[in-house]
Homo-oligomer: A and B are copies of this chain.
Amino acid sequence: MKTKFIPHPHVIALINLALAEDLNGGDPTSALLSESNSPQTATIFAKSNFTVAGLPLLPLIIQESRFELEVEFLAQEGDQVKKNQHLAKLHGKAVDILILERTLLNFMQQLSAVATSTRKIKDLTADKVKVADTRKTIPGWRYLQKYAVLIGGGSNHRFNLAGGIMIKDNHIDACGGIAQAVEAIRKHSPHPLRIEVETRNLEEVKQALAAEVDIIMLDNMSPELMKSIIDNFGQRAIFEASGNITIDNIQQIAHCGVQVISLGSLTHTINPPDISMKIDPTP
């Protein structure tokens, strides 16, 4: 799937925080090089195999830095890149390249980490189910991480608290039961949003079905129980598996017939690929 990267104000704010924290005080080491105003080129390249994400951030970070570097892309967003593959070239002054190097790479590595782990999980499930993220994202990174999930072939669960109705235990308790909670919410909730209820056992699933909710989350259930639920009620709601899902059990869960599997680890656990930058030798 092609995805539109939107450089919206929160992303710009995060980029400016990143520049502020690293460039605050200048770069006394690189100041030495400031004579070297002749054009230089640097290459950003992969030091391992991974799914690349974050390329559209390169020109954006440079624009925010007010430096005058040109970016030449050598890979496409979402590509499965190999060790030593070149991803992009930067053209400009050496001093500008050196000052921005770390900020550029830090963004690329974080985004590629999410795309790569999503890609791996998604490939295990083929097209059977949607592999969805959660709101367990790194604070400040909600949009970027959910974008990287899309790049890795995943789907987005609700973007924020207003991106879906999600009735949890605490809500249910406060209202006196699933039936009451759903009824109260349905009357006033924004009609473009589906209503989802979190369930922990068969009894709760039946209550949710009786309340005619749109989505039922099966939380921390065994694959056997989930399969039995889907076999019996699969046509009456969208079923989503969640909780304790790992690379080891995801295939079994996918076979239960749920339409969505959601994992907090897609965005809260980060294993960044190694990405590096090298000033090209002068020809």
Contact string against B for A residues 174-201, beta-carbon threshold 8 Å, 1 for contact and 0 otherwise: 1100000100110111111110100000
Given contacts A95-B4, A106-B139, A139-B14, contact A163 B161 (CB under 8 A): no
Given contacts A24-B162, A156-B28, A260-B191, contact A171 B33 (CB under 8 A): yes
Neighbouring B residues of A147 by C-beta, 8 Å: 26
Complex: A217 Cα to B54 Cα, angstroms: 30
- Nearest CB in chain B: distance from A246 CB, A: 13
Cβ–Cβ contact A174 & B268, under 8 A: no
User: Is A98's CB within 8 Å of the partner chain B?
Assistant: yes
Choose from B31, B163, B259 the contact partner of A193 (Cβ within 8 Å). B163
Chain A interface residue count: which class? 35 or more
Cβ–Cβ contact A166 & B192, under 8 A: yes
The interface stretch among A60-68, A83-91, A204-212, A223-231 is: A60-68
Complex: A192 Cα to B198 Cα, angstroms: 13
Given contacts A30-B161, A163-B190, contact A102 B136 (CB under 8 A): yes
Choose from B2, B35, B138, B156 the contact partner of A190 (Cβ within 8 Å). B156
